[in-house]
Amino acid sequence: MPARFGVIFDMDGVLVDSADAHRRAWQQLGAEVGVPFSATLFERTFGQRNAEIIPAWLGAVTPQRSDALAQRKEALYRDLVRRGAVGVYRGVSGLLSQLLQLGAQLAVASSGPRENVSLLIDTIGAGACINVAVASEDVHQGKPHPEMFLTAAMRMAIAPGSCAVVEDSVHGIDAAKRAGMLAVAVLTSTPRQQLLAAGADCLVAEVGDIDPRQQLLAAGADCLVAEVGDIDPRHLRRTIETRAHPD
C-alpha cells in the first residue's frame, strides 16, 4: 500500500484569486479610519495575520483596538466575497478530486480567520474534499513560523516529511521549508526570484512566465507546471514519498 501523504494548501492566492478583494477591504477600512492603506503596504503584508498587519499600518495600538479593526476589515472582505469579488483558479476542483483518489489527506492552512476560511471553502465547493482546516485562531504564531503547517500535519496524522505545501508567498514558502515539507510555489502574487530564494522546490506559473531551464537549474525543482490545475497528482505523490523515504 502506498505511504500516506498530505497536501496543505494556502487559500488566498492559491485556491482563490482574492488579493483584490483583500486590498479593497483594507482600503475601505483605511477610508473609515482616516489613514490610507497604501498599495505598497498591502504588497508587503499580504498573507500575514491582521495582528501583524495593523501595527505595520497604524503603529502601536491597544489589543482591543487591533481586534476591532481586524474584525471590521474581515467583515468588509466577507461582504465582497459574497458579492462575487473572488474567483477560483482553473483546475482546482479536478486537482483536489484526483489527490483524494490517490489517497491524499487534504488541508487548508490560512492566515485568515476561521469564518473567512469556512466561507471560501464553501465558495469553491471543496467542503467534501478538505479533511482539515487551520485558521489564525488555531495558532499562536503566523507564517513564516511553521506552526500553521505543523498543526495541519498533526491534525491529518501525517508526518511533516510526508506533506507538501502549496503557497504563493515568501512567508509561506519559508514556513513550509521550516516545517520540513515539500514547498510548491505558485507565481500568482510574488516574483519567482523571491520564491526561489525562499527555498521553493517546485514552481507553478502562468505559461508565459515559465523559463524551464533556468528555473529547474536554479531551484532543483521536482516539477514545473503551468498553474495550479496542471499539477500532476501522481508525480506530486511520488515526489513526497521519495523525500520522506529516500531509501
Q: Residue 213: its pLDDT value, please?
A: 33
Q: Which secondary structure element, helix H or strand E, spans residue 167, and what is its range?
A: strand 163-167
- CATH 1.10.150.240 describes domain 19-82: yes
Q: Which three cell numbers stand for residue 240?
A: 513526497
Give the Cα separation of 238 and 29 in Å (integer).
Answer: 45
How many angstroms separate the Cα of 224 from the Cα of each of 38, 92, 211, 227, 230? 34, 17, 10, 9, 9
Residue type, 21: A
Tell me which CATH code domain 6-17+87-244 carries.
3.40.50.1000
pLDDT tens digits, residue range 210-232? Answer: 233 333 333 334 444 445 666 67
pLDDT tens digits, residue range 1-51? Answer: 345 889 999 998 889 999 999 999 999 999 999 999 999 999 888 878 898
In this predicted structure, the answer to whether residue 191 has a pLDDT above a threshold of 60 is yes
Q: Residue 219: its pLDDT value, please?
A: 34
Angle between helix 114-123 and helix 63-82 axes, rounded to 10 deg: 10
Q: Where are the domains of the chain?
A: 6-17+87-244, 19-82
Q: Residue 210: its pLDDT value, please?
A: 26
Q: Which secondary structure element, helix H or strand E, spans residue 214, and what is its range?
A: helix 212-219
Give the Cα separation of 33 and 27 in Å (integer).
Answer: 10
Q: Residue 49: its pLDDT value, please?
A: 83
pLDDT tens digits, residue range 130-184? Answer: 999 999 999 999 889 999 999 999 999 999 999 999 998 899 999 999 999 999 8
| Of the listed ranges 138-147, 155-164, 191-200, 237-246, the one predicted with least confidence | 237-246
Tell me the CB-side half-sphere exposure of residue 228, using CA atoms within 13 A: 28
Give the Cα separation of 222 and 171 in Å (integer).
Answer: 21
